Amino acid sequence: MMRAFTIFALLLIVPSAFAVDQSGNHFLVGDWVWTWSKNNCTENYTFRPDGTAYFVSGKEEFDMKYALSGTTNPNGRRALLLDTVKDHGGKGCVDSTEDETGKSYSLYVEFSNSKTMMKICHEAVSGRCYGPIRKLTDSGK
């Protein structure tokens, strides 16, 4: 019974922690680019103010939904939740052609002081990160 209550309480708290700033002033909104050093493959990320995103990895394209935590953890990272709405196919930068439609990811974003660069990490504390990912525009169109 206590476990069920704890899970229910988390369900009430978590959505507010991952609220997307609909005004368009959020750090993440805009167009970002990163090139893999090992194979010179480019990834482009467009984060829109409405919580949707469009990613291109090599020849693979994705429609996504995202939520970014409004606060940082003690390591300066914000939780980023991604849901793949549609994988349009093609070969991505990791040489995969697997259909990612319906898959969800929990990642962590760390922004530079200027908010013009970020890195994306697989763990909240340390671990595997990639970047720097450079911001190209603030519009996210």
The domain locations on the chain are: 2-137
Average pLDDT over residues 59-69: 94
Categorize the per-residue pLDDT at 131 as very low, low, confident or very high, splitting at 50, 70 and 90: very high
- Specify the DSSP class assigned to residue 40: -
How confident is the model over 93-120, as a mean pLDDT? 91
Overall average pLDDT of the 47-53 stretch: 94
Q: Is pLDDT larger for residue 57 or for residue 96?
A: 57
3-state secondary structure of 13: helix
Least confident of 7-16, 22-31, 52-61: 7-16
SS3 122: coil
Kindly indicate the confidence band of residue 136, based on its pLDDT and cuts at 50, 70 and 90.
very high
Q: Of 129, 44, 10, 7, which is closest to residue 80 (Cα–Cα)?
A: 129
Confidence at 17, pLDDT banded by 50, 70, 90: very low
Residue 141, pLDDT score: 62
**C-beta separation of 49 from 137 below 8 A:** no
Decide if 43 contacts 56 (C-beta within 8 A). yes
Which residues share a beta bridge with 25?
none
Amino acid at 54: Y
Q: How far apart are CA 24 and CA 137, in angstroms?
A: 12
Q: Is the pLDDT of residue 90 over 50?
A: yes
Q: What is the CATH number of domain 2-137?
A: 2.40.128
* 27's tokens: 């750090």
